[in-house]
Amino acid sequence: DAGITQSPRHKVTETGTPVTLRCHQTENHRYMYWYRQDPGHGLRLIHYSYGVKDTDKGEVSDGYSVSRSKTEDFLLTLESATSSQTSVYFCAISEKGLNEQFFGPGTRLTVL
């Protein structure tokens, strides 16, 4: 398995609080992605990174920000969580664009 960890694995929080999810990789891959998965919508890209300090928006980026200060870590922040952000969040990594993406174990986030 690709060396990808996500923390926390489960989190319950209240509306309006900030939340940060962490993705950590040991593969030294250049590309990292954050997805959310919801019933009826499938996997949707939130933000991605193509290098240290290089990030861009995905399909559903509103309400989320990201940071990547070193190759191995990609952080996803919900500045003020809303109930609509209740979801399962997956991080993925890829060595090169157009190549296979490998997923972390996921974080289940519940916003009350």
Partner 1 sequence: QKEVEQNSGPLSVPEGAIASLNCTYSDRVSQSFFWYRQYSGKSPELIMSIYSNGDKEDGRFTAQLNKASQYVSLLIRDSQPSDSATYLCAVNKAGSQGNLIFGKGTKLSVKP
SS (H, E, C) 67-109: EEEECCEEEEEECCCCHHHCEEEEEEEECCCCCCCEECCCEEE
- Within residues 39-58, the interface with partner 1 by CB under 8 A covers 40-45, 48, 50, 56, 58
Piece in contact with partner 1 (CB under 8 A), picked from 12-20, 34-42, 63-71, 76-84: 34-42
**Segment near partner 1 (CB under 8 A), from 18-26, 60-68, 69-77, 94-102?**
94-102
The stretch near partner 1 (CB under 8 A) out of 13-21, 33-41, 64-72, 73-81 is: 33-41
89 binds partner 1 (CB under 8 A): no
- Between CA 56 and CA 4 the distance in angstroms is 21
Calpha distance 103→2 (Å, rounded): 8
Rounded distance between C-alpha atoms, residue 84 and residue 17, angstroms: 13
Which amino acid type is present at position 78? L
9 or 17, CB closer to partner 1? 9
> Can you give the binding site for partner 1, defined by CB under 8 A?
31, 33, 40-45, 48, 50, 56, 58, 90, 94, 96-106
